Amino acid sequence: MDDPVATASFDDLIPEPTSLSTAEGAFSLTRTTPVVVADDAAGDAAALLGRYVDELLGEAPPLDGDGGGPAVRFTSADGEDDLGSEGYELDVTPERIEVRSNGRAGFLWAAQTLRQALVSAVPEPLDTASPIEVPSVTIRDVPRFEWRGFMLDVARHFFPVEVVESAIDLAASLKLNRFHLHLTDDQGWRLESAAYPELTEVGAQTAVGGGVGGYYTREEYREIVDYAFRRGVIVVPEIDMPGHTQAALASLPWLNCDGTSPPVRTDILVGLSSLCTDDERVYEFADDVIGELADLTTGPYIHIGGDEANQTDPDDYRRFVSRAAAIVRDHGKVPIGWEAIVDAEPGEDAVTQVWIGAEDDVDAIAAAGHGVVMSEASHSYLDMKYEETTPAGQAWAGFIDTERAYSWDPAAQVPAIPASSVIGVEACLWTEFVETPEQVELLILPRLAALAEVAWTAQAERSWDDFRRRVATFGPRWGAAGLTYTRDPGVPWP
């Protein structure tokens, strides 16, 4: 066999796996090494791995039978309890690479582990039949949290499908499994509706600052959902109501109590819009748009927003949000909303997303026993600048450098909320002050990697000193992939 062109490395994985032990020897992986699917649930993982090998070595490996020779084999873990639904084992020996998992998620995360190990050796694509040496290793890896999210606000500034897909791919490469799309706000309604074409004909035409807007057709949205699903990522779409609705009010005057349309907002003021919550037509509207969204969305969640509804009378707010949650349920989905929805008693199954941790809200969330997705702003809001000179974003929750994004425990962050209620963590990128794909990248890299490790790796196993060493090695890879990242001085970039 030809001399190897490179040696893969498992030394710098992010997130840090649960356990990893190395051994002598290596597997020689080439672009003709078969990728064998011995468990049907591994089909998507094998296809992705094939694509990564193709990208790195210039040809896609065969995806069928192994004839007993050297191969990458995906095989069932036979329901081994400790691996749960997302854990996996990866065993590399000189004879073969074997992946075991209980289902498709674990297989997909194992494929991402292999991809990272390969990309660390081959940041720039090669066109070669020569092998990459993959060092012998045994990895056993199980996530800490079930909800590992990334949110992108496409309402304040719109980002086209390619940008969204590239963000999803990046999130999946870090084993994040929820992609929350903030689809509507005062400044834009970004998803085409069959029942109400005005929502995008009027509501999608502009953005913060008055620039051109944009929206996803139903077909494009479906494509995003599918792209994410194939990578193990569930899309969580948000229709923010009853506040943050000026783009809807601008499109459909009867949603507004005075029956006239305000202009779509192009500034960033909040708390100035509300649906007319005592008009029955508003509930028909909510049922229609949630129903359409539920039909287009394969994942189990629909986010109803519910934040900063300062123009909605508190009783009206409670009535509206509890009915909106019921509408989501009627369409077969689980409702999720920002922390304030707890006031509406949205039902036990409703998931709450904590961002400020307002005392009354968190006490009520704890008392009602809601599952909590922790998005505490001063650690996980990626629209906060790293420091004064960061060329995009804002700073109302303080500066968040990479060390700060890394150094917290989501299960202990809000004392009133018991650790057992915290189902996960989500990093949020609001886009009032984010306009270009490069600005998206520099705000999420490297902090999304930090938050992905917060979400995956057990608290006791995490160390900033070790993380900063590992994340430094991603700089050249991101650079080679044409991604913009922030050279945070806390990280020893090569």
Minimum CB distance to ligand TNX smaller for 270 or for 366: 270
Question: How far apart are alpha carbons 133 and 25 in whole angstroms?
Answer: 9
Minimum CB distance to ligand TNX smaller for 150 or for 430: 430
CB of 86 to ligand TNX, least distance (A): 27
Minimum CB distance to ligand TNX smaller for 37 or for 443: 443
Question: How far apart are alpha carbons 464 and 404 in whole angstroms?
Answer: 10
Rule CB under 6 A: choose which of 107, 150, 430, 485 binds ligand TNX. 430
Could you tell me which residues come within 8 angstroms of residue 117 by beta carbon, excluding any fewer than 6 positions away? 8, 9, 10, 13, 134
Question: How far apart are alpha carbons 78 and 475 in whole angstroms?
Answer: 38
CB of 410 to ligand TNX, least distance (A): 16
Confirm or reject binding of residue 355 to ligand TNX (CB under 6 A). yes
Confirm or reject binding of residue 406 to ligand TNX (CB under 6 A). no
Minimum CB distance to ligand TNX smaller for 380 or for 473: 380
Confirm or reject binding of residue 159 to ligand TNX (CB under 6 A). no
- Residues between 251 and 310 that touch ligand TNX (CB under 6 A): 270, 307-308
Confirm or reject binding of residue 338 to ligand TNX (CB under 6 A). yes
Minimum CB distance to ligand TNX smaller for 90 or for 400: 400
Confirm or reject binding of residue 189 to ligand TNX (CB under 6 A). no
CB of 471 to ligand TNX, least distance (A): 24
CB of 129 to ligand TNX, least distance (A): 50
Paired residues of 137 in beta bridges: 22, 92
Question: How far apart are alpha carbons 154 and 190 in whole angstroms?
Answer: 7
CB of 483 to ligand TNX, least distance (A): 23
> Are 304 and 293 spatial neighbours (Cβ–Cβ below 8 Å)?
no
- Please identify which of the residues 223, 308, 376, 461 carries the catalytic annotation: 308
Please report the DSSP string for 419-450 in residue order: GGGEEEEEEEE--TT--SHHHHHHHHTTHHHH
Give burial (CB, 10 Å; 0-12/13-18/19+) of 369.
Answer: exposed
Question: How far apart are alpha carbons 182 and 184 in whole angstroms?
Answer: 6
Give burial (CB, 10 Å; 0-12/13-18/19+) of 93.
Answer: middle
Helix (H, G, I), strand (E, B) or coil at 382: coil
Tell me how crowded residue 318 is: count the other CB atoms within 10 A of its CB: 17
Minimum CB distance to ligand TNX smaller for 89 or for 432: 432
Helix (H, G, I), strand (E, B) or coil at 458: coil
CB of 373 to ligand TNX, least distance (A): 12
CB of 18 to ligand TNX, least distance (A): 32
Minimum CB distance to ligand TNX smaller for 73 or for 244: 244
> Are 17 and 140 spatial neighbours (Cβ–Cβ below 8 Å)?
yes
> Are 99 and 45 spatial neighbours (Cβ–Cβ below 8 Å)?
yes
CB of 266 to ligand TNX, least distance (A): 14
Is 308 annotated in the active site? yes
Helix (H) / strand (E) element for 134: namely strand 132-141
Task: State the residue for tokens 């920002």.
Answer: 338
Minimum CB distance to ligand TNX smaller for 14 or for 151: 151
Q: C-alpha distances in angstroms, 397 versus 185, 249, 384, 471?
A: 20, 29, 7, 24
Question: How far apart are alpha carbons 73 and 66 in whole angstroms?
Answer: 8
Task: State the residue for tokens 């893969």.
Answer: 8
- Residues between 371 and 390 that touch ligand TNX (CB under 6 A): 381, 383
Minimum CB distance to ligand TNX smaller for 189 or for 474: 189
* Number of residues this chain uses to bind ligand TNX (CB under 6 A): 9
* Tokens at 62, concatenated: 């065969």
CB of 130 to ligand TNX, least distance (A): 49
* Tokens at 141, concatenated: 């890896």
Q: Which of 426, 451, 379, 486 is nearest to 152 (CA)?
A: 426
Sign of the Cα pseudo-torsion (33, 39, 40, 41, in order):
negative
Could you tell me which residues come within 8 angstroms of residue 68 by beta carbon, excluding any fewer than 6 positions away? none
Catalytic residues: 308
Residues lying near ligand TNX in the complex (CB under 6 A): 270, 307-308, 338, 355, 381, 383, 430, 432
